[in-house]
Amino acid sequence: MKHYKYLLFDLDGTLTESGRGIINSVLYALKKNGIDETDREKLWAFVGPPLTDSFQKYYGMTREQSLHMVDDYREYYLERGWKENLVYEGIPEVLESLRAQGRRLIVATSKPETSAKKILAYFQLDSYFDLIAGATMDESRNRKDQVIAYALRQMGTAENILMVGDRSHDVEGARENGLLCIGVLYGYGSREELEEAGAAAICPEVRDLPAVIAALEKASSPLASGAMTGDSCFCNI
């Protein structure tokens, strides 16, 4: 039976409910640059993906302009936004349970690594993780596939690893590194987004995560076609 010894976790939308701080920071950057955005709901799309990509995609900015926006975003985020954040209920207990099973936990986030470490320490989650891997401040490593590849190099292995995240870029970044990904529905991505991206399993609630992982491990061939459904998960196996 397959055993996933290493679990890679996304941060925003997977471990913490960070949307308010991110959206407030985006609004600050937009206003500072003369853009009066009145549709706050539109900005939920910024939670998770690299900020430079989102500014280019949703506001038609150039790469250079998006880098400037990220600098302005960080003015608010580094002072206030990072604390406008909550740990999802049940996360500490689930992390403790997974560690008790002998698993090693790693964070792989498109958030700057310095910010990720600060947030996890603030919420007293850092002790659960063997490694916290994130983006660079100069945006040279900001895509999820790049962050995962960086984490794998730091770990010194690419075997028996499973990704857990809430957006399509988590699934796609995992696949580009030869990994399966569980998509969680309690974050910011929809079931449709995650299934279209090719998530190996769908986890509706925080408490379901250990069972979803176990279901993948019990499957005889995680990459075979077909489906297995249940109260806790949908597995493309």
Active-site positions read 10
How many angstroms separate the CA atoms of 89 and 214, rounded?
21
What is the separation of C-alpha 233 from the centre of its chain, rounded to a whole number of angstroms? 19
The dihedral of CA 170, 171, 173, 179: what is its sign?
Answer: positive
Beta-strand (E) ranges in 73-157? 86-87, 104-112, 131-135
Is the Cβ–Cβ distance between 74 and 82 less than 8 Å?
Answer: no
One DSSP character per residue, 153-192 reads HHHT--SSEEEEESSHHHHHHHHHTT-EEEEESSSSS-HH
Q: What are phi and psi of 157, to 5 degrees?
A: -155, 155
Coil, helix or strand at residue 203:
strand
Is the Cβ–Cβ distance between 139 and 68 less than 8 Å?
Answer: no
201, β-bridge pairs: 182, 235
